[in-house]
Copies of this chain bind each other. A is one copy, B any other.
Amino acid sequence: MAISSKKSLSFLGEFGLIEHIKNNNTKAGPAHNVVLDIGDDCFVFSSLKNSKYAVTADILIEDTHFKTKWATPEQIAKKAVEVNVSDIVSMCGAKPLYLFISIGIPKNTELSYAKRLFAAIKKNCDKYGIHISGGDTVSSEKLTISVTIIGIKAGKLITRSGAETGDIVCVSGNFGDSGAGFDILNSDKKNLTCYEKKLVKKHLEPEARFDIAKILCGNNIKITSMTDSSDGLFKSVELLTADYNKGAVVYLDKIPVSDELVKFAKNDKNKIYRYALNGAEEFELVFTIAPKDKIKLQKLIPEISYIGYVNKSKGIKYFYNNNETAIKYNGYKHF
């Protein structure tokens, strides 16, 4: 954290910070149905008739999820919002409405640093029409950002559990970049090449696939299950199949990877697919569709990749060049 002997947060206090958030807040639109705005004991909203609300909570902690020497306050704030938006859009057709943010921040943080952090939270909320609705600010040793988002969910509920035998496993974009970017940052290498910089950016500035989810969920495609790949593609496929007594076949050579990752891995297939399957903090959508909808989806969103299919077995088999590969992968572990 940036440290200064003057104009530090101690001058501002908790109530000052809340005041700052209030004064610089995203204006709640009519869709937000705000009854009592941020700044009281609770935030209160009135529900729409027969509505479903989707809620998710994620926490980012300095030195676990980011280092302040790597990431700007703008990047930290962006990630804190995007990881939660990603969970909301994984509910297919859910729209994020309200964000609650609890921040632990070192006492000697420069006021300008905190202001940049809050401005970036607001900017990322604005992008999605999210209203900052409440929160808590306390002092802590490590910068800590805990976010809860409430979204409104229209249409049929798409969960992780609906995949059926024969369904096709689809993904919304490249895998492995974020994991490679993380390793580059960890290596403390100076003078990064152009492709290394791109990989690092993918790690530091992830983006929820709100764009894809919006098209995907509004066009009568039969999506049978969906999640995001926040814990890695390997884990995502498991979440949609093995966790519900189903299996899958996944073709490694069909998993989309970037040119940057290929360069970084020096075309070593083992390395490429280790990143693609294990790399966490990547927020692509992983979902299954009924086979009959594949052609329709190909026309609708050309960038979707089809990496395998669901079967009856209780495990996941990986193939490369049509040969089963014995390489063992492990999902990302937080502990």
Interface, chain A (partner B; CB < 8 A):
9-10, 12-14, 35-36, 40-61, 63-65, 87-88, 90-91, 94, 98, 100-104, 107, 133-142, 144, 146, 148, 150-151, 153, 157, 159-161, 226-228, 231, 333-335
Known contacts A141-B142, A146-B146, A335-B107: A42-B14 contact under CB 8 Å: no
Shortest Cβ distance from A37 into B: residue: B159
Chain B residue at minimum C-beta to C-beta distance from A90 = B41
CB distance from A139 to the nearest CB of B (A): 6
Q: List 27 A-B contacts (CB under 8 A).
A: A13-B335, A35-B157, A40-B160, A40-B227, A41-B56, A41-B160, A41-B227, A41-B228, A42-B54, A42-B55, A42-B87, A42-B151, A43-B56, A44-B53, A44-B55, A47-B51, A47-B53, A55-B100, A57-B148, A59-B102, A59-B138, A59-B146, A61-B138, A64-B138, A102-B148, A107-B335, A144-B146
A139 to B146, CA, bound (A): 13
Chain B residues, Cβ within 8 Å of A48: 47
- Judge whether A335 and B139 touch: CB under 8 Å: yes
Known: A91-B44, A98-B55. A144 touches B61 (CB 8 A): yes
Q: CA of A156 to CA of B134 in the docked complex: distance in angstroms? A: 21
A102, B57: Cα distance in complex, Å = 7
- Chain B residues lying within 8 Å of A40, measured Cβ to Cβ, are 91, 159-161, 227
Q: A312 to chain B: closest CB distance in Å?
A: 23
A55 CA to B33 CA in the complex, in Å? Answer: 14
Question: For residue A139, which residues in chain B have a CB less than 8 angstroms away from its CB?
Answer: 64, 334-335
The distance from the CB of A114 to the nearest CB of chain B, in whole angstroms, is 10
Shortest beta-carbon distance from A246 to chain B in Å: 16
Please report the C-alpha to C-alpha distance between residue A40 and residue B226 in the assembled complex, in whole angstroms. Answer: 10
Measured CB to CB, the nearest residue on chain B to A133 is B55
Min distance, Cβ A151 to any Cβ of chain B, angstroms = 7
Quick one: given A9-B335, A142-B141, are A52 and B35 in contact (CB under 8 Å)? yes
Across-interface contacts of A91 in B (CB, < 8 A)? 40-42, 44
- Asked whether, in the complex, the Cβ of A61 is within 8 Å of the Cβ of B100, the reply is no
- Given the interface contacts A51-B47, A150-B55, A333-B13, does A144 sit within 8 Å of B144 by beta carbon? yes
Which of B42, B140, B157, B231 makes the CB contact (< 8 A) with A36? B157
Residue of B nearest to A65 (CB): B138
**Which of A47, A51, A135, A146 has the most chain B CB atoms inside 10 A of its CB?**
A146
- In the bound complex, residues from chain B placing their C-beta under 8 Å from that of A63 are 141
Tell me whether B49 and A49 are in contact (CB under 8 A).
yes
